[in-house]
Amino acid sequence: MAGRISNLFRGFFSLFISGIERRNPEALLEVETDNLRKQIASYNQGLISHAALCERLMSQVKKLQSDQSDIRAKTAAHLRVGNRDAAGQYALRLQTVERELDENKKQLEQAETTYKDLVRSRDVAVANAKSKIESIKANISDLKTKRALADLTETASGMITNIGGTGDTLQRLESMVEEERSKASGRVRVAQGNLDVSTLHVREAEQKALADQALADFAAREGIALPGPAPVAGQIEAPETARKTMGPAAARE
């Protein structure tokens, strides 16, 4: 049971970390770049050790070559003077030095070849890693651009879908305003239907007659002659009507 719970927690933690990595690819790339630097530094330390081995072998080869020349000269010198025993001892030492020299030359050649292969492998690996890093950087930039474009597109799509759609605030407001306008138009129509136009005309005529009478009274008191109304075509005003209109002062005149 404890193992299953532990596996469950590890699974949740792995999912959590994976989610963080997906949301932050730049941080993950920076970590991997730093790891690459560390690996290159460690690899270079190995190359340094191997280069030191090559240098040591080269020194040994040079020393053995020097010993070989020296012993060969001594062997030849003793042999020329007839000192065979000493010449024989030097000849044995010369054989040993030559075997060591041949072995060291082989080792040096192998070490040099290995060093060159290691350097070439490092350069190829570093070049591939750098190419991958640059490609990932470009992909991350493209990912950011496409994410931003996707967000804008989704926002625009949502606006197109929602604005003017069923239940939208703008549509409800438009419907409400249209309904109120219709109600107001109906009220105007009802009010106009209830309005008695003939009564309005009568009241208007009464107001005009009262105004004319008041004006005639004022003119009579002040002794001002009022001009008569313009005669209507086909109709002649009766003198009695004119006298009533002009008032008492006008009648006396």
Q: What is the 3-state secondary structure (H, E, C) of 192-251?
A: HHHCCHHHHHHHHHHHHHHHHHHHHHHHHHHCCCCCCCCCCCCCCCCHHHHHHHHCHHHH
Segments making up each domain of the chain, as ranges: 2-156, 197-226+238-253
b/e per residue, 183-213, with b = 16+ CB within 10 A?
eeeeeeeeeeeeeeeeeeeeeeeeeeeeeee
* pLDDT reading at 19 higher than 70: no
Q: What is the pLDDT of residue 31?
A: 80
How big is the CA angle at 120 (ends 118 and 125), to the nearest 5 degrees? 95
* pLDDT reading at 88 higher than 70: yes
Structure tokens at 166: 């069923």
Helix, strand or coil, per DSSP, at residue 163: coil
* pLDDT reading at 250 higher than 60: no
Find the length of the chain: 253
Specify which of 34-48, 95-109, 183-197, 219-233 reaches the highest per-range mean pLDDT.
95-109
Q: What is the pLDDT of residue 104?
A: 93
* pLDDT reading at 234 higher than 50: no
Tell me the average pLDDT across 203-222.
81
Distances (CA, A) of 114 to 4, 110, 174: 49, 6, 84
Residue 97, Cβ density class (10 Å: 0-12 exposed, 13-18 middle, ≥19 buried): buried
Tell me the average pLDDT across 80-88.
87
CA–CA dist 75, 115 (Å, integer): 38
CA–CA dist 104, 24 (Å, integer): 54
CA–CA dist 61, 59 (Å, integer): 5
Kindly report the average pLDDT of the chain as a whole number.
76
32-79: per-residue pLDDT in tens?
888 888 888 888 888 899 899 999 999 999 999 999 999 999 989 888
